[in-house]
Amino acid sequence: MDADDNLFDARFVMNMKRINALVGLVAPRSLAAQSDPLESDICRAVVVFLHATFEDMLRTVGRGRLSGTHTDGSDRYWDHLSVSSYSVVEKALLRMRIDPEPFNFLAPGLDSMMKRRHQIVHDADLPIPTAREAPPWSIADTLLLAYWLLHVVTFNAQLHVSIDPTDELHRWYVDHRRAAVERVREAIRAGLAATELPKESVQSGLQRMLDHFAEVLPLLGPPSEEEIQETARKLEATGL
């Protein structure tokens, strides 16, 4: 790992700690609907900061990838990069000479994060031009925020693997977090489907959603001792 990779890691870890500190101000109350306007706005601030962390990750890696070869025009590109849709992410990856394909499964979630950030930053998260008060932060909002957090850390892991294909530890994280993303999507689909069910069936629909979320938690933990040993064996096999 060179100095540019160290900067990439240091800035991402620092920013995620700042985000976790904000989340800590409202957790575990953030698992329920927020009646407190201040706590609702803290949750909105987390969305904005998460998006900023994602942009900073792209800029930092982009500058590092072109270090020593970039022109002043490239400097300006990374300095002014504004990520408003996933299509911008694809173009940024190509500019880094990184294949976007392994990241594409994250496109829907990242796009939805960017749209919500735009709504918060440009419309103060007010639903209509005539609104006189901000809506409370809902349980659905909290589920989406957790979904977006998962997307950003998964993107980070995939970026490590794309930069260094021999990085078996981050490859392990990509595999497990990808599975977690799919489980969360299934949970959200189950929750949406439950709202369409007859009243007497809603509870069973919500239970299916909770069952999917229960499958996510084991995928977010660190590797087991056996998995660490397997990762070490793969690294040894590369001759590094």
Q: Can you give the residue ranges of every domain in the chain? A: 1-126
Please give the residue that has the higher pLDDT: either 223 or 112: 112
- Give CA separation, 79 vs 74, 90, 99, in Å: 9, 17, 22
Whole-model pTM: value is 0.83
Q: Is 72 helix (H, G, I), strand (E, B) or coil?
A: helix
Percent of the chain with pLDDT over 70: 73
Q: How many helices (H) and strands (E) does the chain have?
A: 9, 0
Amino acid at site 232: A
Whether residue 234 is predicted with pLDDT greater than 70 in this model: the reply is: no
Amino acid at site 208: R
Amino acid at site 8: F
- B/e letters for 145-168, b = 16+ CB within 10 Å, e = fewer, are bbbbbbbbbbbbbbbbbbbeeebb
pLDDT digits (tens, 9 = 90+) for 54-96: 999 999 999 998 765 555 566 889 999 999 999 999 999 999 9
> Binning pLDDT at 50, 70 and 90, where does residue 185 land?
confident
Report CA torsion sign: 80, 86, 87, 90: positive
Whether residue 158 is predicted with pLDDT greater than 80 in this model: the reply is: yes
Q: What is the pLDDT of residue 36?
A: 83
Percent of the chain with pLDDT over 90: 50
Q: Which long-range contacts (CB under 8 A, 24 or more apart) does 33-40 make?
A: 33/136, 33/137, 33/138, 33/139, 34/136, 34/137, 34/138, 35/136, 37/134, 37/136, 39/137, 40/134, 40/136, 40/137
Neighbours of 109 (CB within 10 A): 22
